[in-house]
Structure 1
Amino acid sequence: MFIRIVKMSFQEDKIPVFLEHFQTVKEKIRHYPGNNFLELYRDKQQPNIFFTYSVWNEETDLENYRQSELFKSVWANTKPFFNDKPQAWSVDKLESLP
Structure 2
Amino acid sequence: MFVRIVKLSFHEENIPAFLENFELNKQKIRNASGNRFLELFQDKNNKCIFFTYSYWETEADLENYRNSELFKEVWSFTKKLFNDKPEAWSVDKLASLE
**TM-score class, shorter:** over 0.9
Gaps of 5+ in 1: none
Q: Which amino acid aligns with 2:60?
A: T
Shift of 1:50: 0.2
Matches within 5 A, 1:1-98: 1-98=1-98
Alignment partners' CA distance in 2, 1:38 and 1:52: 7
Alignment partners' CA distance in 2, 1:52 and 1:15: 14
Gaps of 5+ in 2: none
Provide the secondary structure at the position in 2 that maps to 1:53. strand
Q: Which amino acid aligns with 1:7?
A: K
Provide the secondary structure at the position in 1 that maps to 2:85. coil
Aligned residues: 98
Q: Residues 52-91 of structure 1, C-alpha deviation per residue, up to 9 Å, x if partnerless?
A: 0000000000000000000000001100000000000000
Q: Residues 10-64 of structure 1, C-alpha deviation per residue, up to 9 Å, x if partnerless?
A: 0000000000010000000001000000000000000000000000000000000
Shift >6 Å, 4+ stretches: none
Question: Structure 1 length as normaliser, TM-score?
Answer: 0.99
